[in-house]
Amino acid sequence: MSFEKLALHPYTMRAIKEMGFASPSPIQRESIPVLKKGVDLIGQAMTGSGKTAAFGIHIIEHIDRRHHKPQALILTPTRELAVQVTQEIRKLSKYHQLSIVTIYGGASINKQIDELQRGANVVVGTPGRVLDMIDRRALHLEDVKIAVLDEADRMLDMGFIDDVRKILDWTMRDRQTLLFSATMPQEIRDLSQRYMKNPQSLTVSTDAVPIDKIKQTFILVERKKKFPVLLTLIRTKQPKLALIFTRTKFGADKLAHQLHREGIDAMAIHGDLSQNKRDRTMQEFKAGRIRFLVATDLAARGIDVSNITHVINFDLPDEPAVYSHRVGRTARAGKEGQAITLVLPEQYKEFSDVQRINGQRIEREHIKGEVVGEWFTDKKDTHHQHAYKYKFGQKYDSDFTN
């Protein structure tokens, strides 16, 4: 499908062509016609899926620029994402000449108040600063007809959901609400039930990076050997820029501290850090002043760095489908990359699910400190096509099953 078939305004089409978009992404193709009907939408999609352009195009096409009060509100979890969203919508609305104001913490509130007073068709902001502006009576939302919750699960992770509820309570009840989230925890489902009207759901899986550009391997390792094996990996592979994933915020902090003690330039990024700390960390990583960034899945979504050479899964993801989004952080802009996963012997079922759901068979890599032994396919296991069992040396533990 081409953008022409979406029946967009000529000004929008002109901007799209100048931005070099050849055809709509899956989420744009599926969501734009639905949004035109005025229905509420839940989109399950990751960063890089094209969701910003999807809701941005819809907003642009339904805003009256002559009306200088906010008609669209976009809430994002971080300042970085707010700025990215604003930049994208400004490009798309180039010929519509919309007024877009970005508000977030860590910047001059007086300057942002001045911008709001001059008039804004669209407001993009983080929940804390948006609520602050409402409390100061600098921001009025009674004319908002489109509200977007971008990366809602990340806002939940960062403790912003109560602020989001308060903000939505200030908007008109007959607004159109769009919620985008990579995962759908219960609190996000509860939020949608309270603030959305019969929403239509779309789930879009995106693989922006050609998988053949990424060399994917796993290393079988005992829990107590994970950190020594990681050190061996770092010293043998010598990554130029690496993203290391952990399951928890505590784990990210602990691992970054351990690496730092070993003389390795590493920092952690996660939702509990202040905005300024996240900004400084990202600036250091993008500039290459630190080579190793230890991140949780949610915090990593705002990372847009094209020259990451290695992704290391120190921990397996909570959800198998998240694996492809992790490894897709490398091999950007036509470059090649490597993704390495550390797997415990008892995680054979989890890891087989990762391979099955992502449609890949990942080769084992051998390295000093790994578990001596092998996994082999259990041909009798029909439920998990790529299930593995582990053979401890010469002794086979027949109880090591589902």
Q: pLDDT at position 371, please?
A: 82
Q: Which residue has the higher pLDDT, 397 or 259?
A: 259
Q: Mean pLDDT throughout 331-349?
A: 88
pLDDT at residue 247 tops 50: yes
Residue with tokens 């012997």: 345
Q: pLDDT at position 302, please?
A: 64
Angle at 127 between CA 121 and CA 325, to 5 degrees: 100
| Count of all residues that appear for the chain in the document | 402
pLDDT at residue 210 tops 80: no
Q: pLDDT at position 379, please?
A: 43
Helix (H) or strand (E) holding 111: helix 109-117
3-state helix, strand, coil in the chain (%, to 5): 40, 20, 40
Homologous superfamily (CATH) for 3-203: P-loop containing nucleotide triphosphate hydrolases (3.40.50.300)
Q: How many CA atoms lie within 13 A of 145 on its CB side?
A: 14
Query: What are the distances in angstroms from CA 361 to CA 16, 212, 357, 377?
Result: 38, 12, 10, 12
pLDDT at residue 317 tops 50: yes
Q: pLDDT at position 83, please?
A: 93
Query: What are the distances in angstroms from CA 231 to CA 54, 262, 304, 341?
Result: 42, 9, 25, 14
Homologous superfamily (CATH) for 211-364: P-loop containing nucleotide triphosphate hydrolases (3.40.50.300)
pLDDT at residue 100 tops 70: yes
User: What is the chain's mean pLDDT, rounded?
Assistant: 87
State the alpha helices, DSSP H only, in 297-381. 297-300, 322-327, 348-358
Sequence ranges of the domains in the chain? 3-203, 211-364
In 3D space, the residue among 199, 140, 211, 182 whose CA is nearest the CA of residue 298 turns out to be 182
| SS3 call for 381 | coil
Written as six digits, the tokens of 249 are 């915020």
pLDDT at residue 177 tops 60: yes
264, 331 contact by CB (below 8 A): no
**pLDDT grade for 348, boundaries at 50, 70 and 90:** confident
Note the pLDDT tens digit of each residue in 122-137: 999 999 999 999 999 9
